[in-house]
Structure 1
Amino acid sequence: MKVLTGIMGAAMMLAGASAYADQAGSIVLGAGWYRLSPQEKGEPLRITSPSAIAGEVPNTGSSVGNANTLGLTVEYFITNQVAVEAVFGIPPRYHLQGAKALEPVGELGSAKQYSPSVLLRYHFGEPSQRLRPFVGLGISRVWYGNVTLTDRFQGVLSSRYTGGATTAGRTEADIDSKFVPVFNIGAGYKITDRWGVGVSMSYLPLRTTINLKTTLPTGAVIASETKTRLNPIVTVVGVTYSF
């Protein structure tokens, strides 16, 4: 009888602990693998100044490869269903590859993307359930650092702008920063009262501009740009710990 009472008491304690997992007031920390897959559509390179040669550079293009990184999250449950989540992590590096006439150049350059986000999430079901799907909507501030161009691409630009006279021109680049919405869907599964796993997918409708400034050996400066729609889909697989 004492054994049965003890088992029932332990079961009630576990049930009570489960009921308190991921409910109003809970804080959930997460870490995981982030796969960023740009649904990229780039426009041709366009010279913007000097006005005498301004215009589209025909048959030019580029593409952006996938990137992987480690991401971290902090989520606070306002109610049993509604939570606020902050997302940050190690900035992934995107690599830009030449396309069309620029395809033989190979890699044109690379940049690190910083995109911390804040989301409002709605978790379906009750705190006592192990599996809880969710949907989320938020905003991300996207900017870029460590933007570099390959020597080969800089030489190609210099040659293009000087009619083949020299490849010694140097080009600097920067990428516009943006605020973009984040659309999120996923599910979390509790392994224990504290530990869990989660999967999610987010979509960011991101359009930005890459700005180039080429300085020729004569001192002349040529400005150009290319607009691109990255529109990345971010897939996340991670672990969580609840307080």
Structure 2
Amino acid sequence: MKLKQAVVGTAMLAGMTTAAYAQSAGSFTVTTGWFHLAPQSSSKPLKVTSIGGSPTNITEPNTGATLSSADTIGLALGYFITDHIATEFVVGYPPSFDLNGSGSLEQFGKIGQAKQWSPTLLFKYYFNAPTATFRPYLGIGVSRIWFTDEKITNGAFQANVLHGPTSVTTDSSWEPVFNLGFTYAFNEHWFAGASVSYLPLSTTAKLNTQAKTPVGTLNVQSETKIKLNPIVTYVNIGYRF
């Protein structure tokens, strides 16, 4: 009888230990992995808004730009508020996007580049029991988006279209994030996962050019609105505390 009680007690203790490390309320997770960002991009035609300090509204027809895809490494820190609801903070090394001309600008190929920063806060709802090996989830959140190192890299585009040295700035914004994915547990600590996110993102690129004209060098300001709308995939490995 004592042997039987000891076996039952050991089994119960093992079950309690496993549950303590499940994806349950109070547990922390950390993941790292690979992000692939695939912009579904398009842009408005380039619009000249000022010449020599005088406001203008000149649209350059059939001009546009698209963004290349990009890859980067990322890190996510998560916390389970309940057995099914978790919050997660996601950051990644800022990927660099190439800006390629479209329409009449397609002949120039790559015309510029920029790095994107997008720290994100997600709230996820996990399905299945906390101890389940496979747990799909749905998530929603918000991301703060801004760009750095924006620059024109194509000399021919800068000389023949913009007509002089040009600096670039972009807007920053808060954007919603829609997310779905799953985790697969190997044991009580280690797991792998994959997710897909969508961000309805757009930004306005503002160009400031010292344009060479027949009457001398004039400051010319122009802008274009670029829709990125990236689909972001994240394949990762994680550890549960």
TM-score (normalised: structure 2): 0.90
Q: Which residue of 2 aligns with 1:19?
A: 19
Contact 1:206–1:232 (Cα < 8 Å) also in 2: yes
1:27-176 correspondence to structure 2 within 5 Å: 27-50=28-51, 54-150=57-153, 151-159=155-163, 169-176=164-171
Q: How far has the Cα of 1:15 moved from its partner?
A: 3.3
Partners of 1:18 and 1:127 within 8 A in 2: no
RMSD, aligned CA: 2.2
Residue aligning to 2:236 = 238
Deviates more, 1:16-25 or 1:193-202: 16-25
Deviation of 1:13 after TM superposition, in Å, equals 4.8
Distance 1:137 1:74 in 2: 16
Q: Which residue of 2 aligns with 1:180?
A: 175
| AA at the equivalent of 2:171 | D
Distance of 2:8 and 2:156 partners within structure 1: 72
Establish whether residue 211 from structure 1 lines up as the match of residue 214 from structure 2: no
User: Which structure shows the bigger proportion of residues in strand conformation?
Assistant: 2
Distance 1:4 1:32, change over 3 A: farther
Pair 1:87–1:52, CA change in 2 (3 A): closer
Structure 2, gaps ≥5 residues long: none
Cα drift, residue 211 of structure 1 = 0.6
CA distance in structure 2 between the partners assigned to 1:192 and 1:108 by the alignment: 49
**Match in the other structure for 1:199:** 194
User: Aligned pair count?
Assistant: 234
Q: Compute the TM-score of the two structures, normalised by the length of structure 1.
A: 0.89
Q: 1:5 to 1:208 in 2, by over 3 A?
A: same
CA distance in 1, matches of 2:162, 2:69: 29
Q: In the alignment, is the contact (CA less than 8 A) between 2:42 and 2:64 conserved in 1?
A: no
Kept after mapping to 1: 8 A contact 2:169/2:206: yes
